[in-house]
Structure formats: C-alpha cells, structure tokens
Amino acid sequence: MTQRTPNDVLERSAIEAVATALACAGIATVSAGSGANLAVRTPSGKALELEVKAASRVDPMQARRFVEQMEGSGLLVVVADELTKAAQAELRRAGVGFLDRRGHLFLRDESLHLDLDVEPDPRSPSTRSTRDPIRGGAGITVASALLLYAGEPIGVRELSRRTGLPVSTTSKALAPIRDAALLDGDGALIPELFWALAEVWNPVRVALAETPTEGTGVLSGTVAAAQLGAPVAIAADSPPDLYVTSATQVRALERRFGTTSGPSRRASVAVEPTPLVTTTAVDRRAHVVFVALDLAQDRSRGREILNAWHPTEARRVW
C-alpha cells in the first residue's frame, strides 16, 4: 500500500475541518464533482464546489500566492492553523474563502456569504505542527539541506552524508520536522519548510565601520540577491552582508575594521547559522536558499522581493 504523504494528510484534515465548520453554520455538504474536493448546497439550492488548500501558517505573501495559483471553477478555500489579519484581508479582497482553525470561517459567493466565528478546530497530534520543529544548529542544518535538495527524496543516511552530521544526530533533528508535517515523503514540503526555517534563521550581525578586504567570508543578503537576479535595486557601494564560520572570526574583523551603527556601516558580519552556508557557496556567494532566508527576515520589503523573485540558479522553495 502506498504511504500517504504529509501533503495528503494536511489536505484531508483541511477538508474535514471545512465540512465541520459548515455543518456548525447549518450548511450541508454534498457530493463534489471531479474538479473539487468538497461541495455544499447553498440556500438557493445551488451546488457550490469548493477547492480546499491546506497550510500551516499563512502570511500576506503566501495568501497572494494562493490567489495567483487559483484555477478551476470551484471556490478556493484556504485552511490554516493561523492566518494573519493581513493575510485574511488579502484573501477577502480576492474573493477567496478561508478557515482559520483558531475559529473563523469566510466564504463568499453570489449565492452564499459566510463570515462568522466557529468552534476552534486545531489539527490532531498526527497532523499538527510542533511548536519548535527546527531545533538547534542540527535542526537548522538538516532543514537547510532538505531545502537545498528540494524535490529529491533524501533518506537519513544520505542527509547525514550531505550535512556532515552523525546519523543519530540527523535522525533526531529530522524527527520533529517530520512530526510537524513539514516533509513530503522523504523531501521538503514546499514552501512550508522554508517559512518554518525562516522563523528560526536569526543570525546576529555586527556592523563594521570599514569594508573588509576582498575574499572575506561568504556574501549574502541584499547585495548577493541582486547579483543572483532578484528584483532589488542597490547602489554600487551598498554594504555587503557577510557570513564567517566562527565567533572568533567575527571578533577578529571587529578589531581590524572597527564597529559602528546606523547608515555609516560599510559591511556587516555574522556567524553562519549552518556550515552549509560555506560548503555550498559558489565564488564566495551564498546559495539562493540562504540569500532568500536573509531576505525573509525583513517582513515587509524583503518578503515583497521574494514574492517577485524566480531564481534561475536553483529551485524556488518559498
């Protein structure tokens, strides 16, 4: 028997949640056609087909992506453990339905308009995300590797080989990621795993008063993004954001080039969150995945750039 993937589990759970919320609102479900996974009978007697999509947490950028990917004649309904207020507003404007499992249902069609609080319906333990699915340096490294090789099924031993971590450490780091339904088979669930990693991707940057010598560290951030074709405009003298391998190197750069704050900085430096930043760098520039994670830390402009960026050097995982 084929094992059901986490994606399928999430979708099935989402469909059940929508059906339950509709039942609470006095709306019965009926058999759906081939192009939908749920249908309801509206008060006017019309059969309204619903296309249910599942996610863990939805922010405005992800909401816009759902809108852009709408297809078919059914009404799209996004189900998530949490939809931010801004994401809800995006979906409302586009006429997309949603169920926030914390307790709110929105559906709008010419024959049906629901916008009401419902009973909270958190996912069961078998499908619910754990609070901290990516734990410590090993978790960041394992999640990074899954994103670097997205689309490729990778077992524990192969992950161990590619990350340089012991098999036991790799297995331990992978377990909560799997429990959080952030895997699709043996590979990354895209884009959920990227955004889960972005939540814990917190390099501590030190602003330098002078520009380090060429060849120092690995380039990332906005300057690297521009070089990789991201839609971002930068000045010729924009300060580079660099990664080095240890806190000792950071302190050495502080002593040599001095520190500063604000617009006077000539560069920034941080310890890489995972050794993969250095080992996967090409021409001392970070991989697209790590550059994207840096951009994701800016929840406004950075995420706007990501929304419009379709890299050619690697698969888009956000």
The boundaries of every CATH 3.40.1350.10 domain in the chain are 6-117
Does the pLDDT value for residue 221 go beyond 90?
yes
The boundaries of every CATH 1.10.10 domain in the chain are 136-200
Lowest mean pLDDT of 22-31, 91-100, 102-111, name the range.
22-31
Mind listing the pLDDT tens digit for each residue in 39-94? 888 877 788 889 999 988 888 888 988 998 887 678 999 999 889 888 999 999 99
Check if CATH label 1.10.10 holds for domain 136-200.
yes
HEC secondary structure over the chain: CCCCCHHHHHHHHHHHHHHHHHHHCCCCEECCCCCCCEEEECCCCCEEEEEEEEEEEECHHHHHHHHHCCCCCCEEEEEEEEECHHHHHHHHHHCCEEEECCCEEEEEECCEEEEEECCCCCCCCCCCCCCCCCCHHHHHHHHHHHHHCCCCCCCHHHHHHHHCCCHHHHHHHHHHHHHCCCEECCEECCCHHHHHHHHHCCCCCEEECCCCCCCCCEEEHHHHHHHCCCCCCCCCCCCCEEEECCHHHHHHHHHHHCECCHHHCCEEEEECCCCHHHHCCECCECCHHHHHHHHHCCCCHHHHHHHHCCCCCCCCCC
pLDDT of residue 222: 96
- Mean pLDDT of the residues in the chain: 88
Predicted confidence band of residue 33 (pLDDT cuts 50, 70, 90): low
Predicted confidence band of residue 131 (pLDDT cuts 50, 70, 90): low
Note whether 63 and 78 are within 8 A (CB). Answer: yes
Q: Taking the domain 6-117, which CATH number applies? A: 3.40.1350.10
Phi, psi (degrees; rounded to nearest 5) at 168:
-65, -40
Predicted confidence band of residue 129 (pLDDT cuts 50, 70, 90): very low
Does the pLDDT value for residue 202 go beyond 80?
yes
Q: Closest by alpha carbon to 277, among 246, 308, 305, 253? A: 246
pLDDT of residue 7: 62
Does the pLDDT value for residue 281 go beyond 70?
yes
Does the pLDDT value for residue 299 go beyond 90?
no
pLDDT of residue 60: 87
Average pLDDT over residues 151-179: 91
pLDDT of residue 37: 79
Average pLDDT over residues 92-101: 94
Q: What percent of the chain has pLDDT over 70?
A: 92
Average pLDDT over residues 208-216: 94
Q: Quote the CA–CA distance of 243 and 250 in Å, as a whole number.
A: 9
Lowest mean pLDDT of 28-42, 92-106, 299-313, name the range.
28-42
pLDDT of residue 188: 92
